[in-house]
Chain A
Amino acid sequence: MKTKSRRRKNGVLTIRYVLIFLWLIFTLIPLYTAFVASLTRYENLGKTFLFPVDFEWHNYIDIFTRIPYGSYFKATLLYAVGTSLVSVVFAAFAAYGLSRFRFRGKMFYTGFIFITQLLPQVVIVVPVFMLLKSMGLYDSYLGVVIAVTATSMAFPILLLRSFFDGLPVALEEAASIDGCSRLGILVRIVVPLAAPGMATAFALSFFTGWGQYLYPLVLTRSADKTPLTVGISRMIDNQTPWEMVMTGTLLSIIPAVVIYLFVQKFLVKGLTVGGVK
Chain B
Amino acid sequence: MNLKFTQRLEPYLFILPTVALFLLVLAWPLLNLVIFSFGDSNIIQGYTGWNNFENYKFLGTPAFLKTVLVTLIWLFGGVIGIVACGMAVSLLLNKPIRGRAFFRALTIIPWIVPHAFAASMWSWVLHPQFGMLNQLLVGLGILDKPIGFLSENTALITVIVVRIWQGAPFMIISLLAALQTIPEDIEEAADLDGANGFQKFRFITIPYLKPVLTVSTLIIAAWTLQIFDTVYIMTNGGPARATQIIALEIYTKAFVESNLGIASAIALVTLITVGILSLYSLKKEGSEAS
Contacts and interface: CB of A to CB of B under 8 A. Distances in A.
Contacts of A1: none
Contacts of B93: 20
A128 B29 contact: yes
B176 A267 contact: yes
A207 B111 contact: yes
Contact of A116 (B26, B135, B136): B26
A109 B15 CA distance: 9
Interface stretch (B48-56, B141-149, B278-286): B278-286
A154 B15 CA distance: 12
Contacts of B104: 260, 264
A111 B286 CA distance: 11
Contact of B15 (A20, A98, A211, A233): A98
A89 B22 CA distance: 15
Interface in A12-42: 13, 16-17, 19-20, 23-24, 26-34, 36-37
Top-6 shortest CB links A-B: A97-B14, A30-B121, A101-B11, A150-B25, A124-B29, A200-B177
B62 interface: no
A115 B273 CA distance: 11
Contact of B135 (A49, A89, A127, A273): A49
A116 B22 contact: yes
B64 interface: no
Given A17-B97, A256-B112, A166 B11 contact: no
B180 A268 contact: yes
A120 B25 contact: no
Interface in B167-204: 170, 173-174, 176-178, 180-181, 183-185
A127 B235 CA distance: 29
Contacts of B103: 20, 24
B65 interface: no
Contacts of B120: 242, 245
Contacts of B159: none
Given A93-B14, A111-B282, A128-B25, 4 more contacts: A37-B124, A118-B271, A123-B250, A166-B211
10 contacts: A31-B109, A49-B124, A49-B135, A114-B218, A123-B263, A127-B28, A159-B215, A162-B211, A233-B116, A260-B104
A117 B220 CA distance: 10
Contact of B283 (A107, A162, A203): A107
A186 to B, nearest CB: 8
Interface string A120-161: 111110111011000000000000001101110111011100
A34 B117 contact: yes
A131 B24 CA distance: 9
A23 B89 contact: yes
A110 B250 contact: no
A232 B130 CA distance: 23
B238 interface: no
A127 B254 CA distance: 13
B243 interface: no
A188 to B, nearest CB: 16
Contacts of A116: 22, 26
A261 B251 contact: no
Contact of A114 (B16, B176, B275): B275
Contacts of A81: none
A6 interface: no
B165 A26 contact: yes
Contact of B125 (A29, A47, A96, A165): A29
A119 interface: yes
A159 B211 CA distance: 9
Nearest to B246: A120
A107 B280 CA distance: 11
A19 to B, nearest CB: 6
A155 B223 CA distance: 11
B28 A131 contact: yes
A31 B174 CA distance: 23
